[in-house]
Amino acid sequence: SMPASPSSMTSSAPNWRVSSSMSVSIGLSVSLVTLGLWSVHLHRRLALLARLLVSAREAARDAARDDDEHSGDDVSLGGEDTNHQKFVSHLRLMSGHLLRYGPCEEHAMFISVSPGGEQNHNAQLVPQHCAIWIGGLTDGILGAPYLQHLSRQLHRHNYALVQINMRSSYRQYGLHTLRDDAEDIYRAMKKLLELGAEKFFLIGHSTGCQDLCKLGDALVYLRGSGTETEKVAATDMMARWSGAVLQAPVSDREDLSAESLSALSYAEKSDDDDEFIPVRILGVGHPPMTCRRAKALWSRNGDDDYFSTDLTDDELARRLSGIGEATGAHF
């Protein structure tokens, strides 16, 4: 075959130049878009870092103020140990014992020791008086920022702070119920009794308040309708439960988001309480949740509906009767 004529080569050159120019333009546009996205991402990262630095500075200032207010209250071991205590206080560190209280891998409890108590090897693992802290949804061990200060104050009154991890802790609350939580708390209390505890004071935080109410309901039921062994155990446990704090009790039903409302609607139409709410309804990143827990959290008179403002006095009295009878408190 004959080589292409100069004229044909010349005529095709402009088309090549046009295609080349378009490729360069597209490549440049893609680079600019990528650079813009990278800049936005970098800006967000820097903004997040700035917020973290501000939070850390505020936490350090609060810790310093807290140390000034309570200087001399903590056990002082002198010298370097005093400096170590200040360092621990600023970092919100806690000393204590971590152990299991049940068969599940989630069943863990942390028992705080008094300042300097970790140096006392002859101290009893579990003091006679324990204050058990029960967190809310997404909480667990170290689930609230005030726990170190609470532990220090309790030790001044000869109480040890006990934090428990339950099957529903952190992001597992959608798979479990208040009844599961009550069972876990009861199991933890029995373990503490085995280790030498004699009296309990329970502190509920957020949904932890519902947990304590459900525990009271369960103990009252077992004392009246359980087996003879259950009746004896429930009566003994109620005698050891000296009081309760309901700190920040809330109504999840009165804080319904659009996703929660859609999830409730789906759950009410489902014939299977163990069915999972689809991700497309709850949204990506939301903890998995069964229809049973959705109805408990967000329906009127659901299992979690203890503190809604539209409950009548009679409804509220019935809701709180169990914990009132279990602790001897009056509402």
User: Which three-class secondary structure state does DSSP give residue 95?
Assistant: coil
pLDDT of residue 175: 97
Measured CA to CA, the distance from residue 188 to residue 173 in angstroms comes to 18
pLDDT of residue 329: 78
Lookup: tokens for 32: 């600019």
Residues (pLDDT < 70) of the chain are: 1-45, 47-48, 50-92, 115-123, 330-331
Lookup: tokens for 49: 């870092």
Measured CA to CA, the distance from residue 94 to residue 77 in angstroms comes to 17
pLDDT of residue 8: 45
Residue-wise pLDDT tens digits, 243-257: 999 999 999 999 989
Strand order of the sheet with strand 241-247?
Answer: 96-100, 108-112, 160-165, 129-134, 199-205, 241-247
Q: Look up the pTM and report it.
A: 0.73
Residue-wise pLDDT tens digits, 210-221: 999 999 999 999
Measured CA to CA, the distance from residue 249 to residue 38 in angstroms comes to 43
Closest CA to 277 of 287, 265, 289, 293: 289
